Amino acid sequence: MSCASPYQEPIVVTGIGMITSVGPDRESTWRAVRQGVSGVRRVVGLEGIPDGLLLGAPVMQVAGMLHLAKVIALSRVAAIEAIEDSALDVDDCDHTRIACAISAHMGDTGWFAEHYGRHDLLPAEGLNWNQWLPNSACVSVAEHYGFAGPRIGHSTACASGLMDVLAAIRSLRDDQCDVALAGSAEAFHPLFAAGFRQLRVLAEHDEPTKASRPFDKDRNGFVMGEGAAMFVLERLGHAIARGARIYAELCGGTRMAEAHHETGLDTSGEAIAHLIRTSLERADFAPRDIGYVSAHATGTRLNDAVEARAIRLAFGSAADRICVGANKSGLGHLVNAASSVELALTILTLRDGFAPPTLNLEALDPECDLDCVPLVGRTNRVDHALKLCCAFGGHLAAIGVKRWNHASSGFGYPMEPARAA
């Protein structure tokens, strides 16, 4: 199979690693998401935060990595799984040709807390100044493997993970590398929680698992969560030459901004609609091609309605045939890791031909009149999907995803379950 120049070759995903509140790895997370499992609960004993905060149940500190800040440890876990999943022989690679694009994060504030006598902000023993920088996770993962290609780390709120995937794609297309490890992680930090509480955007409900309610008429905010997702990305020719198994092709990514408000979206939905149209055009997708949209869908009152309006504007009548997913309903809002975890779940949605449910969607808001897969997931065998991200600060990003259907290098749909007689 001949391929174009590096500037034109398709970019494919050959490895995925993931850890979330509902699973310690990719497949366990995916099974839980498919089954509608929620990782949200009330937590106690978090430094600097009153007991009872709702959280996408924090992933426990990773065994063997207690010396690392939690966000760095989560990055490592997801990266290791992604590399192993890709079957990339890193010892036999030119390390100067492997990029590492991992989002920026809140650094270790322990030294600051100790200096100012704020012992309530002190993290676990052993964390230190060299994990303070927001690029510490990127550096740590790259140095764990000895990768010496480009290092990239965006800080663009909850668009960060997708921004880094798009930056990794650019590095591959520019022939700065042959392989890129890209993604993001998030670990709970009291400063983030305090900020969100001041903004009054955190959800509340008597039953923790019912709190996150994207697109529901009774939604009242989001729940914070923890986790990570990482991807191994390659040009198609490189992947085929080494016999790699391919999940999907990443097509037509777009990065732009909405110059409107720090936390709210333009209620017309035009900016997000423009993002969608541009991404479809760059991916060479028609609106009718798309069978699944992974929405940002935080569960906030205004932003869900605006996002739904934008999907209607961009897709027109084709919107009636699209399943719109809202993964934050069970995982919480993973902030920096949100878009990478949700991109991973989008790829698995295409791989298995199954749209996971939006939990707690008991009464669809009339302003969100889309098929948001309420309560129970369903078979949805489609070849094209779109991942949307609408972050605080006006950061907007989207990417088209195409299922890999080639029998020689890809996945077949799982067998249909046997029907009862």
Residues forming the active site: 158, 296, 333
d(C-alpha 84, C-alpha 70), whole Å:
21
Please give the helix or strand (H or E) that residue 84 lies within, else none.
helix 70-86
Residue 101 phi, psi (nearest 5)? -120, 95
- Residue keyed to tokens 């880094």: 164
Of 255, 292, 259, the residue nearest 399 (C-alpha): 255
Centre a 10 Å sphere on the Cβ of residue 218 and count the other Cβ atoms it contains.
12
Which of 335, 56, 391 has its CA nearest to residue 192? Answer: 335
How far is it, in rounded angstroms, from Cα 318 to Cα 261? Answer: 30
CB 183 within 8 A of CB 164: yes
Instruction: State the Cα angle at 348 between 345 and 351, rounded to 5°.
Output: 160
CA distance 318 to 190: 42
Per the structure block, which two tokens stand in for 55?
């959280």
Name the burial class of residue 144, with classes exposed (0-12), middle (13-18) and buried (19+) by CB atoms within 10 angstroms of its CB. middle
Q: Which residues lie closer than 8 Å to 259 by C-beta, 6 or more apart?
A: 394
- Separation in Å, CA 150 to CA 144, 162, 164, 172, 362: 15, 17, 12, 10, 46
Angle among Cα 291, 296, 299 to the nearest 5 degrees reads: 120
Q: Which two tokens stand for residue 140?
A: 């740590």
Q: Are strands 248-257 and 395-403 parallel, antiparallel or unpaired?
A: antiparallel
Looking up tokens 């366990």 gives: 28
* CA distance linking residue 290 with residue 316, whole number of Å: 12
Cα separation, 350 vs 405, whole angstroms: 10
